[in-house]
């Protein structure tokens, strides 16, 4: 019996009860978005789906089960206007989405629905939308399709950097990184152990076309949005602006993303097509792209936690760059960053020099030599 036959038989012999009741309840929620969800009913249906959905997840060529077109459009419709905690709706939707591709999902959900979910004050709705966007990181083609949805990407970047919920920021950092990785025309030179915190995962053996990179780094609106949300300025003092705590979260999220991206295209994150935007954000003539902005001008070094984040950023950056192909540009960039930070921070040099002592023995000598090359005059 082939895969599809197994799945169809399983779907046929494992009926899910009370689906009619759930459809009726979704109709009530659509009519009155202030009603609470019947969480017991949602749990009853979702628990029964677990076996089917898990099987389908392992069998990506299987037919879409009948419950997906039956329930997903209704849930999507409710989520666009629901005014209470949407956790039950989002949980069931996530379960239904598991076997679907990004292209299939977009036949059920509109760009506007994604934007609304990303803009929701409810973290479950944000996470659901980001789960959908993560599907676009499965192939370079889907990443390119998403890159063309400027409104979705803009709202995604806004939520990634400004959401107060830590889990939303972490999810966004991972999803944006995955999208840029799968869309990269260049593949990384090596994969490291994730337990060392410097993993460079290869998501696709097919190089991307760079559409997502151009949307993030060459689109003036999106690039300016990143600078704005990660820098101090009048926009943080107006109603609805980021609080100091949210600003720190945004800066930390950018610091976590950039080292990973440096393995693919150091030049893109170290240069910019919008020097005027950098001058506005940094109030200086300082050159360089997001890498220089994040390392030299973004954070308040008197903030102990942000200072630790900056040190972690440099350690990850150097650990990753050690295994990338040698180049004059790379070494000049790293030396400039190191010297400028070390000149401003007397403890920085000591911490960076001790990094090889805190890595695995197999990597220590090579990393020590690389750091010596970066830090020597």
Quick: pLDDT tens for 22-64. Answer: 999 999 999 999 999 999 999 998 888 765 545 555 544 343 3
| Mean pLDDT, range 100-125, rounded to an integer | 93
Confidence band of 233 (pLDDT split at 50, 70, 90): low
Alpha-carbon distance values, 139 to 51, 54, 206 (Å): 26, 21, 8
Q: pLDDT tens digits for 118-135?
A: 999 999 999 999 999 999
pLDDT number for residue 66: 79
pLDDT number for residue 243: 87
Q: Which residue has the higher pLDDT, 86 or 108?
A: 86
Looking at the predicted structure, is the pLDDT value of residue 193 above 50?
no
User: Measured over all CA atoms, what is the biggest interatomic distance in the chain, rounded to whole angstroms?
Assistant: 73
Q: Return all residues near 54 (Cβ < 8 A) that are at least 6 apart.
A: none
Confidence band of 279 (pLDDT split at 50, 70, 90): confident
pLDDT number for residue 43: 93
| Mean pLDDT, range 173-196, rounded to an integer | 76
| Mean pLDDT, range 154-168, rounded to an integer | 97
Q: Return all residues near 292 (Cβ < 8 A) that are at least 6 apart.
A: 270, 286, 337
Q: pLDDT tens digits for 302-340?
A: 889 999 999 999 999 999 999 888 999 999 999 999 999
Q: Which residue has the higher pLDDT, 313 or 194?
A: 313
Q: Which of 187, 138, 200, 129 is nearest to 158 (CA)?
A: 129
Q: Return all residues near 266 (Cβ < 8 A) that are at least 6 apart.
A: 291, 321, 324, 329, 330, 333
Q: pLDDT tens digits for 247-265?
A: 999 999 999 999 999 999 9
pLDDT number for residue 280: 83
DSSP secondary structure, 102-114, as one string: HHHHTTTS-HHHH
pLDDT number for residue 342: 92
Give residue 76's Cα distance to chain centre.
22
The values of phi and psi at residue 354, to 5°, are: -85, -5
Instruction: Calculate helix-pair angle for 304-321, 361-375, nearest 10 degrees.
Output: 100
Q: Are 139 and 99 in contact (CB under 8 A)?
A: no
Q: The pTM is what? A: 0.88
């Amino acid at each position: 019996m082939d895969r599809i036959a197994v799945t169809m038989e399983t779907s046929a012999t494992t009926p899910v009860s009370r689906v009619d009741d759930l459809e009726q309840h979704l109709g009530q929620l659509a009519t009155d978005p202030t009603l609470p969800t019947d969480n017991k009913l949602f749990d009853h249906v979702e628990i029964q789906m677990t076996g089917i959905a898990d099987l389908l997840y392992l069998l990506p060529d299987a037919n879409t089960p009948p419950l997906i077109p039956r329930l997903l459009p209704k849930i999507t419709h409710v989520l666009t206007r629901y005014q209470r905690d949407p956790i039950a709706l989002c949980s069931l939707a996530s379960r239904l989405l598991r076997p679907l591709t990004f292209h299939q999902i977009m036949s059920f959900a509109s760009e506007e629905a994604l934007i609304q979910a990303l803009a929701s004050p409810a973290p479950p709705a944000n996470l659901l939308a980001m789960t959908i966007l993560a599907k676009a990181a499965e192939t370079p083609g889907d990443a390119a399709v998403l890159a063309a949805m400027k409104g979705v990407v803009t709202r995604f970047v806004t939520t990634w950097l400004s959401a107060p919920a830590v889990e939303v920021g972490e999810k966004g950092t991972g999803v944006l990184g995955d999208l840029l990785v799968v869309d990269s025309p260049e593949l990384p030179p090596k994969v490291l152990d994730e337990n060392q915190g410097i993993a460079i995962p290869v998501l696709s053996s097919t190089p991307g076309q760079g559409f997502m990179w151009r949307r993030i780094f060459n689109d003036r609106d999106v690039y300016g949005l990143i600078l704005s949300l990660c820098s101090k300025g009048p926009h943080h003092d107006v109603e609805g602006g980021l609080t100091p705590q949210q600003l720190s979260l945004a800066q930390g999220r950018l610091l976590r993303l950039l080292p990973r991206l440096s393995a693919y295209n150091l030049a893109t994150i170290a240069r910019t097509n919008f020097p005027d935007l950098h001058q506005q954000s940094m109030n200086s003539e300082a050159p360089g792209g997001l890498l220089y902005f994040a390392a030299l001008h973004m954070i308040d070094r008197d903030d102990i936690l942000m200072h630790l984040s900056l040190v972690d950023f440099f350690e990850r950056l150097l650990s990753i760059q050690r295994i990338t192909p040698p180049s004059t540009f790379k070494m000049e960039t790293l030396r400039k960053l190191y010297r400028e930070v070390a000149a401003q921070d007397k403890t920085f040099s000591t911490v960076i020099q001790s990094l090889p002592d805190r890595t695995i023995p197999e990597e220590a000598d090579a990393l020590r030599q690389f750091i010596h090359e970066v830090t020597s005059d």
